[in-house]
Structure 1
Amino acid sequence: MPVETELYELLGVSVEAGEAEIKKAYRKKAMQHHPDKNIDDPDAGQKFQEIAAAYEILTDPQSRAAYDRGGMAGLNGGPGGGPGGMDAADLFAQFFEGSGMFFDFAGGPGMGRRKGKGEDSVIPYDVTLEDLYNGKTVQMNIQKEVLCGVCKGSGARGSAKPKQCSKCEGKGWAFVQTAISPNHYGTSRAPCSDCKGTGEKLREKDRCKKCKGEKTVKEKSRQEIQIEKGMTDRQRIVLAGAGDQEPGVPPGDVIFILKAAPHESFERSGNDLLMHVTITLSEALLGFSRILVTHLDGRGVHVSSPPGKIIKPDDSIVLRGEGMPIYKRSDTKGDLYVLFEVEMPDQQWLRSVDTAALASLLPPKRSNPEPAPEIVDEVKYEEIDIEDVRGRSYPAGADFFDSAGFQFGDGGDGDDWEDDDEDEDEDGHGEPECRPQ
């Protein structure tokens, strides 16, 4: 039984509700509380945002599990929290990126602007697989807003005091209309553009000369980030309190999100690695003893095949403990999988040898089936690149090409397409257009 049920109650569903039931309840609630249908209710927009937020959490398996285990505190990284202790407002930022919505989880979902902390700055950072294998320390300059040293963040000149904003009459917000469709508009509340949501403004002559009344100025600072061994693509590195400053609240965080570039030799899957190695026909038949891998740290890895072992195309071996370092346990590593490709001799080599003598050494050719079919058609021998065939829009099954190559990592999981009918209910109606994007 979940420790909290407020989000379920917000949508009017039971804690055992399935995804289809939650979707149907969301559509009904969203239509009921849409700001366009409740123009006279100033809280309709906030209610609509709460419903959308509850829907996003309860339809995502990870966030729903975290909420069921620890409630809103679980989403906020408390006992029973989600992966990595993700901050609940950061979770909502993923769902509603660019929407201008803010949520405060101190008193439950959708209580207005996030309190107690400034906004976080998110910075993508490109890394190589070598960086993630070996670790790396990076020094960089970051420009951020800091409190003005002259007015101490008041924005005022001397002892001047701000006056009530005339545009919003001190409320800090105003009604705005947003186009939902070509002939459909919704009304919601937004921070006042004149006073930026504070409800008060300084006269021009009363503003601080240094910050021009903005209360903050731009400043460059040098920051160091540590890319630890075993980190993964899209992992976050958080510099707590290094974000922009604003009066009255602690500064937010600077969050670096790692973006790993594909590697020309290795593929990564969790803590394991895969690489393709080409060997000659002689090595495939008679064995080999050589450096197969130049690793991500520059080491050569020498491997010998067992005597009498014939290696066939697409055979694979595993090198235990030669994969990626495990995050926070870098003395332990995953495994490295090596997939063999056998390089066949070319036409020039074939012309240089005694083909009759070669045939006597090789296994005999395959004979025709017995009994032979009654009808035998002669067809033309024509070469083609199988990758060209893969790129065509044939209605083949998902496993059609399984025998044509080794599949590794994230490929073939079906996440690269969506069923257009997936979100339709039993009446054939999709989700309403009013869902925030």
Structure 2
Amino acid sequence: MVADTELYDLLNCAPDASPSELKAAYRKASLANHPDKNPGNEEAASARFQEIGAAYEILSDPDQRAAYDRYGKEQPGMGGMGGMGGGPDMDDIFAEMFGGGRGGGRGRPPPRRRPKKGQDSRIQYAVTLQDLYNGRTAHFNLKRDRFCGSCGGSGGRPGAKPQPCVKCGGEGRVRQLRDMGGGMVAQSFGTCNACEGEGEKVREKERCKKCKGAKVRQEATKLDIVIERGMHDGQCIVCKGENDQEPGVPEAGDLIFQLSLQEDPSFSLNGLDLLCTCRLTLSEALLGFDRTVLTHLDGRQIRVERRAGAITRPGDVQRVRGEGMMTQGDRGERGDLYIRWEIDFPPDNFLSDVDSLKLAHLLPPKRPSPPADATTTVETVAPETAPLEEFGRNALPSQEHEWEDDDMSAGGGGGGGPQCAHQ
């Protein structure tokens, strides 16, 4: 037994009808009550046509049909809840489901707010330090949706009038019911897929031939964005109204380009300051130099003069004020350029014995050994070249035991675990 047969009566089918029988009954009833088939009585036929569509929408969904068969449109009472007053008010539940409690009409979703503006699209756009330092114009070829020029975005031929969507009754959204068990029914509203949330449709025979009733067509266009000097990583460039146009939404969304700075091989950026590394020969480090040491981001060659007698040591850093990045605008602030000096030493044995003696007289004297006496032990060693990454490779004995395989530590070979020193 079902609690209510009203929806089945609308389709003129039995409550135990199979899904295929329901579908056949719906087609027959909707065809008989279509407004085009009832000239002179279109208004009443349209209302009946919508009721039939709404009935089939509920009965064709297994969850919604189960909830309707179980409860119908009437309050099921408090049976099964032990008469406790703390249970849910089923009259309130069915008021939401069917637009009123006992004996209420078919429920409608709450009014849908139509947006005034379409969705924005955010695009990550890779830029270089040169782009931000000098500025640049980027060119794009885009494909986007625009209102059909043939129908003006109506989706129909000239003179065609959209009709309310039968599935959603012109609301743009449809109700979805789900039996939660224990006498509870969950309700939600989703966008109607028959009209794409518009609430109305143009009859197929009256649709625009260009857009096929879609109201929009894809078009190709060119777009230029200006990356201004002094822009920074993460900054956004907004192109107003350049995103897709959407049916029923008067204003197109924006295209938002977010700048993403790529790593530069020569310069590092921190705030408005730039850092680069320049290499000198040993003679330049000792005797000074006067030459171009780097090419800046705008192509200028930066020349540096270091007078003789000013020793440049490995890792020394010098600053050139006002040669860093700038902020936007003609009067924007500018950062500084920092230069870190690295020294290239000559290869082994590049000096002859004679040259070595001459150079020894020119250079500061060698450091002496610390004082030693008859009790001091002096041992001569022969260091070998080793990478710094190997520093720490010789682990403590306790760490070595932790790294042993299970088989090694489980055997009798010395016993795993920390060793204790007895005194």
Q: TM-score interval w.r.t. the shorter chain?
A: 0.5 to 0.7
Give 1:173 deviation, angstroms: 5.1
Partner of 1:310: 311
8 Å CA contact retained: 2:172, 2:191 = no
Q: Offset at 1:306?
A: 4.3
Tell whether the 8 Å contact from 2:172 to 2:196 is kept in structure 1 after alignment: no
Deviation at 1:319, TM superposition (A): 0.6
Give runs of aligned pairs for residues 164-175 of structure 1, distance below 5 A: 164-166=165-167, 170-172=171-173
Distance 1:281 1:329 in 2: 42
Aligned residues with identical type, % of pairs: 41
1:131 is matched with: 131
The answer for the alignment partner of 1:163 in structure 2 is 164
- Give the match for residue 278 of structure 1: 279
Q: Does the 8 Å CA contact 1:230/1:271 hold for their aligned counterparts?
A: no
Partner SS for 1:279: strand
Equivalent residues of 1:173, 1:197 under 8 A apart: no
1: CA distance, partners of 2:187 / 2:377: 78
User: 1: distance between equivalents of 2:113 and 2:376?
Assistant: 79
TM-score by length of 1: 0.55
Q: How far off its partner does 1:340 sit?
A: 0.5
Structure 1 position 257, deviation (Å): 1.6
Change (3 A) 1:168 1:258: farther
Between structure 1 and structure 2, the one with the greater Rg is: 2
Q: Report how far residue 365 of structure 1 moved.
A: 3.5
Distance 2:141 2:154 in 1: 27
Residue 358, structure 1, aligned to residue 359, structure 2 = yes
> Which piece of structure 1 moves more, 321-330 or 289-298?
321-330
TM-score, normalised by the number of residues in structure 2: 0.56
Q: Aligned partner of 1:127: which letter?
A: V
Task: Judge conservation of contact 1:174–1:191 (CA < 8 Å) in 2.
Answer: no
Unaligned runs of 5+ in 2: 1-92, 97-110, 179-185, 396-423
Separation in 2, partners of 1:176, 1:362: 93
Taking a change above 3 Å as real, the CA distance of residues 171 and 113 of structure 1, as seen in their structure-2 partners, is closer
Q: How far is the alpha carbon of 1:122 from its aligned partner?
A: 2.2
Q: 2: distance between equivalents of 1:242 and 1:116?
A: 15
Query: Which structure is richer in relative contact order (CA contacts within 8 A, separation 6 or more)?
Result: 1
User: How many Å apart are 1:375 and its aligned residue?
Assistant: 9.2
Residue equivalent to 2:220 = 220
The count of corresponding residues between Structure 1 and Structure 2 is: 277
- Assess if the C-alpha contact under 8 Å between 2:112 and 2:171 holds in 1: no
RMSD of aligned residue pairs (Cα, Å): 3.8
Q: Within the alignment, does 1:231 sit opposite 2:268 as a pair? A: no
* Cα 1:367–1:116 shift into 2, 3 Å: farther
- For residues 200 and 353 of structure 1, the distance between their equivalents in structure 2, rounded to whole angstroms, comes to 100
**1:126 to partner: Cα distance:** 2.6
How do 1:82-231 residues align onto structure 2 when only pairs under 5 Å count? 115-158=115-158, 159-166=160-167, 170-172=171-173, 190-231=190-231
Q: CA deviation at 1:364?
A: 3.5
TM-superposed deviation, 1:128 = 2.1
Residue 248 of structure 1 and its aligned partner are, at CA, apart by: 3.5
CA contact (8 A) 1:176 1:190 kept: no
Displacement of 1:198 in angstroms is 2.8
Instruction: Name the CA distance, whole Å, in 2 between partners of 1:192 and 1:122.
Output: 27
Contact 2:173 2:189 in 1 (8 A): no
Answer yes or no: is the 8 Å Cα contact 1:125–1:256 preserved in 2: yes
